[in-house]
Amino acid sequence: MDGRELLQFCSNDYLGLANHPKLIAAMQDTAAQFGVGGGASHLVCGHSSYHHQLEERLAKITGRDRALLFSTGYMANLGTVTALLGKGDHILEDRLNHASLLDAGLLSGARFQRFQHNDMADLERRLRKLPADGNRLIVVDAVFSMDGDMAPLAELAALAQKYNAWLMADDAHGFGVLGESGAGCAEFFGLSQQELPVLMGTLGKGIGSFGAFVAGSEALIETLIQFARPYIYTTAMPPAVAAATIAGLNLLSEEPWRRQHLQELIGYFREQAQAFALPLMPSNTAIQPLLIGDEQAAMALSAALEQRGILVSAIRPPTVPVGSSRLRITLSAAHSKADIDCLLAALVEVLAA
């Protein structure tokens, strides 16, 4: 920044793939052959063989019948919820869901309720009270973006079955990272397509590229192709991005050490932070926020860290509830233990000042 090199702990490049030579080469080679722009929407002529291959890979990895690419995760959420629900339907969302899911719920025109964060009793109470008519969709972040904790997806799937609702999980922060092979929340919880029928994932975080997808049944994907307006009326991601994403997916199995190393760093950070009595939040993922509370205090801490050569952004309302401003620390396989030691030393210093 401004000519200074900083040690960064706030990107979502959890596996350190965004700068991987294989992704860079795939993007460069494909751009040299196919050009830079996507040129048109998927349904016109923007859908290249790279997009096709990528969708097939995503379906296979997630264990779903089919997958559909979207140009961003925000659009995938808007498109999916609005295609599945309308007036007379019901949507129930965790109150800490990502803004794109909350916006999608509002835009859908369905009756919109937010349940208390990860509170299955509150959700069940609401499900029990729903009228018999209309479709029902329960929507959660698989890993909550600003807290780092996970949704209890097995319990959610059981409730969805019991009350005849569809379940949708946004796996933006789990895809590539969670599960034995990096296939994300469905693999981590062992949830089939029937149990978790609407699976959304992003490609700009763990996979190091850009874009998003929704995976599920033939019927789901056909419905999205016909009715998801943010799919239909936008330019397809460039083929070079699709090619780079395929390279990112290949690395999930080629370099499993990235996930292992990240897990080790998470354990190390939490152990050390606990020893220093830092205000950790209850998270076992790569998102390790420190709860500060006051907005100005969070901003001042972020600035003090920057002076010490460390970049961590302060997250404030309306992104998080009032009084819960925080430093959203994210760890990556690109970090070393020595990097974590630098972060911890700086945190101890600025928090004591």
Residues contributing to the annotated binding site for pyridoxal 5'-phosphate: 73-74, 145, 173, 202
Among 16, 46, 73, 179, binds ligand PMP (CB under 6 A): 73
Stretches 19-27, 71-79, 237-245, 344-352: which one binds ligand PMP (CB under 6 A)? 71-79
Assess contact for 179 and 185: CB atoms under 8 A: yes
Among 170, 196, 238, 301, binds ligand PMP (CB under 6 A): 170
Annotated binding site: 73-74, 98, 145, 173, 202, 319
CB of 61 to ligand PMP, least distance (A): 18
- Closest to ligand PMP by CB, 46 or 73: 73
Identify residues 102-141 at the interface with ligand PMP (CB under 6 A): 141
Q: What is the three-class DSSP state of 69? A: strand
Stretches 66-74, 117-125, 246-254, 261-269: which one binds ligand PMP (CB under 6 A)? 66-74
Stretches 67-75, 86-94, 187-195, 270-278: which one binds ligand PMP (CB under 6 A)? 67-75
CA atoms 114, 115, 117, 118: torsion sign? negative
Assess contact for 179 and 187: CB atoms under 8 A: yes
Among 72, 283, 302, 313, binds ligand PMP (CB under 6 A): 72
Identify residues 204-223 at the interface with ligand PMP (CB under 6 A): 204, 212
User: Which residues form the catalytic set?
Assistant: 145, 173, 205
Contact flag: residue 84 with ligand PMP (CB under 6 A): no
C-alpha dihedral over 114, 119, 121, 125, to 10 degrees?
A: 0
Stretches 72-80, 158-166, 177-185, 221-229: which one binds ligand PMP (CB under 6 A)? 72-80
**Please, which residues have CB within 8 angstroms of residue 256's CB and are 6 or more apart in sequence?**
181, 182
Q: What is the three-class DSSP state of 94? A: strand
278: nearest Cα among 286, 263, 288: 288
CB of 296 to ligand PMP, least distance (A): 24
- Both tokens of 316, joined, read 């404030």
77: nearest Cα among 160, 241, 192, 201: 201
Q: What is the three-class DSSP state of 91? A: strand
Q: What is the three-class DSSP state of 173? A: coil
Q: In the chain, what are the helix, strand and coil shares in percent, each to the nearest 5? A: 45, 15, 40
Contact flag: residue 74 with ligand PMP (CB under 6 A): yes
Annotated binding site for substrate: 98, 319
CA atoms of 331 and 348, how far apart (whole Å) = 18
Residues at the contact surface with ligand PMP, assessed by CB under 6 A: 72-74, 77, 98, 100, 141, 145, 170, 172, 202, 204, 212
